[in-house]
Amino acid sequence: MSSQRALRVAVVGTGKMGADHVRRLQHVISGARVTAVADIDAERVRTLADAIEGCTAYTDPMLAMAAQDVDAVLIAAPGPAHEAALLEALGRDLPVLCEKPLTPDAASALRVLEAEQRLGHRRIQVGFMRRYDTEYLQLKRLLDGGELGRALMLHQRHRNPAMPAWFTEEMLINDSVVHEMDVTRWLLDQEITAVTVHKPTPSSQAPAGMSDPQFVLFETESGAVVDVEIFGHCGYGYQVQAEAVCERGTARIGDEHGPRVNADGRWSGRIAPDYVERFEDAYDREVQAWVDATRRGEITGPSVWDGYAAAAVCEAGVRSQRDGGRVEVELTERPPLYR
């Protein structure tokens, strides 16, 4: 497409995340506009399209991708719908930004990986937005710079005030800890080789039948050890923190996202209520980077390999969560397209 023309985007899936991306594409970032929205909820998608000049509503995502006024696709539908949408987009050679997960399991992610390889060039970016967060970017630069030496351990915390009623225990791994899986691979520039999940006594705030919080251990190919506290019902707000322990020092992020105030004999700060607010800037940068790269004819950011690797680590994590013990991660050989 011409780099002088606004990127015409179809948004597939218009729930909380998809609707927020529609708002972002239309009113926050530059160089793009929404020309199609697709969702099985006909009333919701029609209402959304009616508010955007030149936008068409679809209940079939395949029809949206086939439209003549669509240059690229942003997929924000539930994970089980991703594989079909991604394969359709690859069949049409359309650039894609796909919210995590790439697909719900490693086998389907591998099918998408193989389809993109057959195409011969990258077309899909996976929406691991923490790679675009200011604090994570600072930590990445610090680790890559080498002044602290090799990273030996990484401590991470992921706390939500509450989870929806439909949220399952497996989703603590597949929908929450998956972010730590990706950011671990990215920060340390290596694969995760094994996962062990520990379950302390559940919180009284945890739903019946869910063990929450959980403590997840990763092992990496260099021998680094990474721990993740996932707490789905902490009750007080949304917190994401990380601390790298290196040979010559440590670095920590996520303690205070916003100002710290000292007054009236005490100090205080604010904790974000959810992930949309905490990572709003990261989402903005992620989508802007995708739009800019697509208009240049490039695909950057997390790849299908990253999505597949995260799915494989998730599967090991869910097995450990269910059966206990240490579970090794099974990965195919990394193809040249993703090296």
DSSP string, 1-46: --TTSPEEEEEE--SHHHHHHHHHHHHTSSSEEEEEEE-S-HHHHH
Q: How confident is the model at residue 294 (pLDDT cuts 50, 70, 90)?
A: very high
What is the DSSP code (8-state) at residue 207? Answer: P
Q: Which two tokens stand for residue 202?
A: 């559940």
> Are the C-beta atoms of 60 and 48 separated by less than 8 Å?
no
pLDDT at 261: 75
pLDDT attached to residue 5: 87
Task: Please give the backbone phi and psi of residue 259, each rounded to the nearest 5 degrees, phi first.
Answer: -70, 150
Q: Is the pLDDT of residue 233 over 90?
A: yes
pLDDT at 1 over 80: no
- CA dihedral defined by 241, 311, 283, 339, rounded to 10 degrees? 100
pLDDT at 165: 93
Task: Please tell me the pTM assigned to this model.
Answer: 0.94
Residue listed under structure tokens 């996520």: 254
- The pLDDT of residue 4: 72
State yes or no: pLDDT of 304 exceeds 70: yes
Rounded CA-CA distance 235/108 in Å is 35
Torsion over CA: 155, 156, 157, 163 (sign):
negative
Distance, in Å, from the CA atom of 255 to the CA atom of 322, rounded to the nearest integer, reads 32
What's the mean pLDDT in 242-247?
Answer: 97
Q: What is the mean pLDDT of residues 76-85?
A: 96
pLDDT of residue 2: 53
Q: What's the rounded mean pLDDT across residues 23-39? A: 98
Confidence at residue 178, expressed as pLDDT on a 0 to 100 scale: 97
Residues 6+ apart with CB under 8 A from 163: 171, 207, 232, 233
**pLDDT for position 309:** 98
Express each pLDDT in 200-211 by its tens digit.
999 999 999 999
112-157 confidence digits (pLDDT tens):
999 999 999 999 999 999 999 999 999 999 999 999 999 999 999 9
Find, among 230, 205, 226, the residue nearest to 217 by Cα. Answer: 226
* Structural tokens at position 87: 């394969």
- The arithmetic mean of pLDDT across residues 281-307, rounded, is 97
% the chain with pLDDT above 70: 99
Cβ density class 300-313: b for 16+ within 10 Å, e for less: ebbbbbbbbbbbbb
Q: Which of the residue ranges 145-154, 216-225, 252-261, 323-332 would you say has the lowest mean pLDDT? A: 252-261
Q: Which domains does the chain have, with CATH numbers?
A: 7-130+281-302 (3.40.50.720), 131-276+311-338 (3.30.360.10)
| 176, 230 contact by CB (below 8 A) | yes
Q: Which two tokens stand for residue 112?
A: 């998408």
> 157-178, pLDDT tens digit by residue?
999 999 999 999 999 999 999 9
**Residue 269 — very low, low, confident or very high, per pLDDT cuts 50/70/90?**
confident
Question: In this prediction, what percent of the chain has a pLDDT beyond 90?
Answer: 92
State residue 3's pLDDT score.
58
